[in-house]
Amino acid sequence: MSVSSKGAEATITAAEFLRRPAVEKSRPPKSYRLPELDAHIRSVRTRNEVRMMREARHAGVRTPCVYDLDVSRCSITMELVPGVVAKDVISAGGDEALRVAAEIGRAAARLHSAGLCHGDLTTSNVIVRPDGEICLIDFSMGRSNATMEDIGVDLRLLENAFASSHAGMDDVREAMMSAYFEGVPDPDAVRRKLEDIRNRGRYT
Ligand SMILES: Nc1ncnc2c1ncn2[C@@H]1O[C@H](COP(=O)(O)OP(=O)(O)O)[C@@H](O)[C@H]1O
Ligand SMILES: [Mg+2]
């Protein structure tokens, strides 16, 4: 498993916490932003990520346990979740791809039913543990008190992620979507919103 990825914004490094395998996700300063604004963005995203991971867990969605938070460095030390990203599992196809896709749909439904949106729902932000359980990560753009618009946009992102990373795998996208709609209290309202967002994308 790769734990030294350098995204656009955060740095992930392997770490240890009380002798437990951990990862440190830190947000180093970005010189292209005004310093005050930069400090604000990094701090808001870091605190938001910790809060959202906790709220998601309370909604029944597995997320890494947070071991430590360094507000001044904008760094989170969390449980290292063993496994592989869902993107790779799904790309490999087969029954496991269908199962993981459905699990992702169910997890998204749990989040949305609790009024939470993830903000960056892609198959790269889901880890499939060796025991098969899925764990959602990368919540810095998430929010609670999500509106129907937030929920629709979240689902649209997920649908797009399946369409682009897993092009041609219509059955896995369907497995994800049907598990999702089975898990939300008002599937028709979300369907209408999703259609609305798809149409907007088409005509703007
Ligand atoms: N707690 C964790 N356990 C194991 N791997 C992790 C963990 N957090 C992040 N990763 C790995 O690092 C990658 C990037 O982390 P992520 O939180 O998604 O940040 P980014 O904003 O860079 O996408 C993930 O796709 C995953 O492979
Ligand atoms: Mg990510």
Quick one: which atom of ligand 1 is closest to the CA of 83?
A: 4
Same domain, 149 and 166: yes
Q: Is residue 1 part of a domain?
A: no
pLDDT, tens digit (0-9, with 9 covering 90-100), for 93-124: 999 999 999 999 999 999 999 999 999 999 99
Closest CA to 121 of 160, 85, 92: 160
Q: Looking at per-residue confidence, does 1 or 136 come out higher? A: 136
pLDDT of residue 40: 95
Distance separating the N- and C-terminal Cα atoms of the chain? 40
Residues 67 and 125 placed together within one structural domain of the fold:
no
Global pTM?
0.94
Q: Are 43 and 71 members of one domain?
A: yes
* CA 160 to ligand 2 centroid distance, Å: 15
The domain of 151 spans 84-203
Residues 74, 26 share a domain: yes
The answer on 196 and 100 residing in a single domain is yes
67 and 168 together in one domain: no
Q: Which residues surround ligand 1 with Cβ inside 6 Å?
A: 2-3, 5, 7, 9-10, 12, 23, 25, 64, 78-81, 85, 124-125, 127, 137-138
* pLDDT at 141 exceeding the cut of 90: yes
| CA 194 to ligand 2 centroid distance, Å | 23
Residue 155, burial from CB neighbour count under 10 angstroms (0-12, 13-18, 19+): buried
